[in-house]
A and B are shown apart, each in its own frame.
Chain A
Amino acid sequence: MIRAVLRGDVHKQAVSLLTELLSKGLADYVLAYRTRGEGVEACIYRKGDVLDLNVFTPTIPGLPIPTILSWSSTSGLKGVVAAIVKPCMARAIVELAKLQQIDRDKLIIVSVDCIGTIDVENYKDLLEEGFTQTGITEECLNGRLEMREACGLCTDPVPPVFDLHLSPYKGGLYAYAGSKLGNKILEVLKAPREEGDPYVKFKNLISRRQEEKQRYVEEAKFKGFDELQKFFEDCIGCHNCMEVCPLCFCKECFYDSPRYDYVTRRFLSWSPQDGMTPLLQSKLQFHVGRAVHMSTSCVECGLCEQACPKDINLTRLFLLLAEANQELFSYRAGRSVEEEPPLRTFHAEGLSSFEGG
């Protein structure tokens, strides 16, 4: 892989690279997060704007960039967007592109090194306590600050698919080209170029996390339906998990629609007729339904858990489901643009199992 070597301050180099993308007309917009009083917010920059963005922000807020991108295809945002994303979000973008929610041709995926992020709630407090951003990352890595559970089990510090990948090194910033478009951009930027591999410095981290994850998957399995029911005991049905999910793309969720006015109270009218009637939990149906829809494209980002007001350990559920269901189809969400999403691929042969022969 080709990389450009941009010596000097990492942040400044990144900003100047993105500024150049806009000024040279390679991108019409830059979509990234910036730090503001309230915490972190997404921001869209155009040519001429001051790029006060935060390239290596150690958190992901509840409005994920893939979701913003999927809206942009129907809004006034016409043109090429350079999106600065964490690896998990880059994988989500690939998934959404396959589901025709994002126009991959009008997008530059600029991914950044990520060894983990912290809960967005803690972020502001930590800044107030005087932590710097790189400080937060380092403390996470040393185990002195707690990173999000999903991040601790993440095996993608660099995403499998990107156009440009930004990676700090001692003395500057590497910008790797992961596609033809990436190569073209590096050519235009005219920075000194050399061969390099963005994955190599994370080799140990990846293998360690793979082991951890395997162990986790073994241990975290649900023991039967009762445990699942207990798991969702606290759910208040706010559907926040769905709102922040970078992959839930339906305009109107079936479970929010009038079609789903199939509510628990209806069971009450059956009870006098039928005697003992166990009341089905519609919230469990919501979660199981969502899990069925999402598990094969889930990128295990854990944003659902971060958004849950009742702190339900959704990371565990989705990680287990994603691992099991994607393995079932030898599929991995966001691994490649060519891989077909399993539940969307229909084989005529599959029909026979329904017809009974």
Chain B
Amino acid sequence: MVYAYYPGCTLKTHAKGFELSAMASLEKLGVKYRELEKWTCCGTVYSLASDDAMRQVAQVRILTRAESAGYRRMLTLCSMCYNTLKRANMLVRSDPERLETINMFMDDEPDYKGSVEVKHLLEVLRDEVTFDKIRSMVSKPLRGLRISAYYGCLLLRPKTVSIDSSINPHVMEDLLSSLGAEPIDSPEKAKCCGAYLTVNRKDLVAGFAYEILSAARRRGAELVVTSCPLCFFNLDRRQEEVSRMYEDYKPIPILYVTQLLALALGIRDVYMFNLHYVDPTSLLKSKGLL
């Protein structure tokens, strides 16, 4: 079955390396996908108000476009897209009245019937491709690379949309092990990165980043991976602020989990490391991976 690939805003700009590495890896692993035509913004954050159908229209419009184009499954890379689309989908599936209202809002689109499943890339890798298959296809094992996986919030919470345990997840660790790397467990792996507070409270976000990254470093990690462009930005770019706040702080490279996947699968030229604030190339070179 072919996935409708929903990129979302940042995958085409700041997180280009995330998209390129993910797409190249999926092709190599034989997962079929096509980018959804005419996709729009997912809304970024899921509206938590009980009376606000308007704020679910964006997500349902995306879902109905996928449905009417004949897709049954939608693939997301960004945690926030995953969360908003999945929650909106669950809401309208369980609340026909809400769905009807939203369908009325969307004059220009066919009514959504609720037949699309929203999946995150990690779920697809785990459940469809399987890590065993990935292990067998690794051409350049990430031997000796000590990596802390950072999940953030929206892949794990609320529990209804979680792709793994919402307190102690291990899907990324399992993936990293299959790539030959050494996962480092950190108690801060499911802690919030501060999200959109990065706009008006970068001091707070830097505080979160410091706690998350120093906990990983203390446990011996050389690298932190994530699968969300906003987490990435907050952990990577805000290290500038962290360094300002803590003088002895030593920056640590942040990668998208798919960049490591692509590396291990021997794919070239999809990394866009120039978009990273903390340059990972010297670390990767020292491990013989570049």
* Chain A in direct contact with chain B (Cβ < 8 angstroms): no
